[in-house]
Homo-oligomer: A and B are copies of this chain.
Amino acid sequence: MGKAVFTSDEHLYLQVADGIEKMIAGDVLRIGDKLPSVRVLSEEYGISMGTAFQAYYHLEGKGLIESRPKSGYYVRFTHRRFPAVPQMIRHEPVPAEVTVQEMIKQVLHRITAEDMTNFALAAPAIELLPTAKLNKSVVHALRNGKDHCIGYEDTQGNPELRKQIAKLAFNWGGRIAPDEVVVTSGCMEAIGLSLRAVTVPGDTVAVESPAYFGIYQIIECLGLKVVEIPSDPETGPELASLEKAIDKLGIRAVILVPNFNNPAGSCMPDENKKRLVEIIQQHQIPLIEDDIYGELYFGRHRPKTCKYYDTQGLLIHCSSLSKSLAPGYRIGWILPGRFLDKVSALKQMYTISSPTLTQVAVAHFLSIGRYEYHLKNLRKALHTQSLRYIQGILQHFPDDTRISRPQGGFVLWVELNAAIDTYELCTEALKHHISIAPGRIFSIGSNYSNYLRIGYGSPWNEKVESGLKTLGSIIRKMVARSAIK
């Protein structure tokens, strides 16, 4: 290992750790290889012993290396051992009436029960959230908010909160004025209001496949039809398919999760985002972008949004703090572009305004820099958890299992042997107090019947590992049974 030149203000230990991680990924260091001692590492890199130790500790947290008592550190896992990613399912885009799935109800039914090992949830464990600091902001709001936050808030949302949300847009290069923000009750209200603003019942909406089941539900509820666009598990929706659907099927709106799609984990490359915006501008079709996972990236930079490339106000950007700060605060927002008046009017009609207190509290929390600080920790924790869960699945599931490689967000998209019906797996797992989300709820067709979504929002522990082990053994039994048939 040669000496490295450290270029940025980033924590030294992270740079050292990244260097080692790259060597593991590049097969320079292989599984079982012994790593230099902490002392040698500190000398080689010209860093303190403490920093060297921190770097190893970090890699150990990610499950990449392990310490063996009285022996030192060894490589435990390489990215080359990552399983194959799930395959894209191709199908002809056909408009269809969505039907609400009884399945979703069953999956959600006991989702918050305490005795569950919950892989069905796509949300952070409460212990990863800055509860105490947020409480302080609530007390601050009670003391300092206008009328102690008891009165109606502005329909578009608390002005200070809108300012903070506008500032968050800097992170992806957005230049948004506070007046261009509409605060909502979480991201689902944002998506619902956006869809209502740009469609009328009977219209057809294009959705990537797989997609979050809540999006199908609301589309059905609004009397809209849906066209599913095949989506690559790594790069997102196939733009050629989208264009074909637009030409053929009279699409009135497109709705996508460009960054860390739920469930596939895909992240559209910048050039795809740019091209997508060109397509929707060419056809003057509004694009609703759900960016709820955008801040939860594992790489060095926040991915851009489609909104960034929009020059015509056709982009309706939706997001929230439910996945990153406080699910129960129900704070989301819309940057509605040219549909601002329509969206504001709908917000006023449906709920008059969002609650004042939580808005003022969160505005304070953001304004003192607490959110950025918290996000740094949360990203690190989620990245580590994603790697741990992948390793766990790899260890306990059959060898032909394929797993997505998300670079952000909360979920793994897992493809099993084609003989497995994951809804059956889900039913069986519930008997063992384990919940998963079966693949079929992420599409309106009968696609993804051998897929499942595993949320890794909860820190890795024995209960989690034991849950994956149990799932693995159920799957093996199901495979064996199917072989007999």
CA of A148 to CA of B153, assembled, Å:
23
Task: Establish whether residues A135 and B142, one from each chain, have CB atoms under 8 Å apart when the complex forms.
Answer: yes
With an 8 Å Cβ cutoff, the count of chain A residues facing the other chain is 52
Chain A contact residues: over half helix, strand or loop, or mixed?
A: helix
Q: Which residue of B lies closest to A149 (CB)?
A: B328
- Interface 1/0 per residue, A185-217 and B, CB below 8 Å: 110110010001000110000000000001001
Given contacts A188-B352, A214-B349, A355-B355, is CB(A131)–CB(B152) below 8 Å?
Answer: no
Given contacts A188-B350, A330-B351, A354-B185, is CB(A129)–CB(B112) below 8 Å?
Answer: no
Q: Which residue of B lies closest to A141 (CB)?
A: B138
With an 8 A cutoff between CB atoms, is A459 at the interface?
no
CA of A326 to CA of B147, assembled, Å:
11
Task: Establish whether residues A327 and B151, one from each chain, have CB atoms under 8 Å apart when the complex forms.
Answer: yes
Q: Which residue of B lies closest to A361 (CB)?
A: B357
Given contacts A185-B351, A350-B188, A351-B185, is CB(A151)–CB(B135) below 8 Å?
Answer: no
- With a cutoff of 8 Å between Cβ atoms, the chain B residues found around residue A185 in the complex are 185, 351, 354-355
Distance of A224 from chain B, by nearest CB (Å): 12
CA of A221 to CA of B326, assembled, Å:
31
List of 4 A-B pairs having minimum Cβ-Cβ separation, nearest first:
A328-B356, A330-B355, A126-B147, A152-B327
Question: Please, could you name 11 A-B residue pairs with CB atoms under 8 Å apart, sorted by A?
Answer: A123-B152, A149-B328, A152-B328, A188-B350, A189-B350, A192-B349, A217-B349, A218-B349, A328-B356, A330-B352, A330-B355
Chain A residues within 8 Å of B, Cβ to Cβ: 100, 108, 112, 123, 126, 129, 131-132, 134-135, 138-139, 142, 147-154, 185-186, 188-189, 192, 196, 200-201, 214, 217-218, 221, 223, 326-330, 345-346, 348-358
